Amino acid sequence: SVLVVGAVNVDLVVHTPRIAPPGETIIATGSTTVAGGKGGNQAVAVSRLGGACALVARVGAGFDYGSLDGVDVTRVRQDPAPTGLAIVMLDARGENAITVVPGANANLAPDDVGELTGAGVVLASLEVPLETVAEAGRRAAAAGWTFVLNPAPTGPLPSSLLAQVDVLVPNEHELALLGPPETLLARGVGTVVVTLGSAGCRVHRPDSVTEFPAHPVRAVDTTGAGDAFCGALAWALDAGRDLDDAVRLACAAGALATRAVGARASLPTAAEVTALAAS
């Protein structure tokens, strides 16, 4: 099974003609509230693909568990702090400015990860405390699970954590902050999979670099493409696919996730992903 460790947020998207500079007030045209957070998005991505998926997360009082449809939420704990909140200012040209209030996510503790039994894949991202992600990596290694880390948002990562990572999945921006793939591999990462948006992705191993083209789609909103990619990668590895196969399926999932507005609205099913990957 797949165990996702990461943040759950409520995204308040404010549609505004332009983003207000400091000190100025602007009247918005409207707002939309959607479920978000990389942990929640990635867990729902796995579940939409039909994979067994549990989520390790913290939420506040009144959280809508319906937003995690199909996900095992027995490791989602209620925290005294409110559910994480992302304020997304979205202007008429599609440019955005985002402020995240971590809330309950900041209190996700190493003990929340729980036991790992059988075989599986841990998929973690970095909107939650690093010590909790490091504990997830240690437990994955001890239990023989595969550890996939989506280093987003990124910052300097300790070598002790990188050494636990089987597959590191940064986008280009995150890679620029993390350092060259060769250095990451030398610091103990098994494989680096760099997502390149509409250019697909590139897989760096110690002895090779492989390019995977993107599937041409008419992208409506690329928010959450990376989460769909990571969720599909974890799902495919858990199903026993080799890494190249898993990356092909993940590219298809990322492309399909751009079809509608919002991170979760167009997450694909297994049938959609396998059909596109085979095309």
Q: Which span sits near ligand ADP by CB under 6 A: 118-126, 182-190, 212-220, 234-242?
A: 212-220
- Contact between 200 and ligand ADP by CB under 6 A: the answer reads yes
Task: For residue 121, give the 3-state DSSP assignment.
Answer: strand
Task: For residue 1, give the 3-state DSSP assignment.
Answer: coil
Q: Which span sits near ligand ADP by CB under 6 A: 3-11, 192-200, 237-245, 267-275?
A: 192-200
Residue with tokens 């998926």: 53
Q: How far is the CB of 115 from ligand ADP (least distance, A)?
A: 30
- Contact between 226 and ligand ADP by CB under 6 A: the answer reads yes
Q: Which span sits near ligand ADP by CB under 6 A: 27-35, 46-54, 129-137, 194-202?
A: 194-202
Task: Name the residue nearer to ligand ADP (CB basis): 196 or 265.
Answer: 196
Task: For residue 82, give the 3-state DSSP assignment.
Answer: coil
Q: Counting beta carbons within 10 angstroms of the beta carbon of residue 52, is it exposed (0 to 12), middle (13 to 18) or buried (19 or more)?
A: middle
- Contact between 96 and ligand ADP by CB under 6 A: the answer reads no
Query: Measured between alpha carbons, how far is 97 from 109 in angstroms, rounded to an integer?
Result: 29
Q: How far is the CB of 42 from ligand ADP (least distance, A)?
A: 11
Q: 112: number of CA atoms within 13 Å, CB side?
A: 30
- Contact between 236 and ligand ADP by CB under 6 A: the answer reads no
Instruction: State which amino acid sits at residue 69.
Output: D
Residues in the annotated binding site for K(+): 221, 223, 257, 260, 262, 266
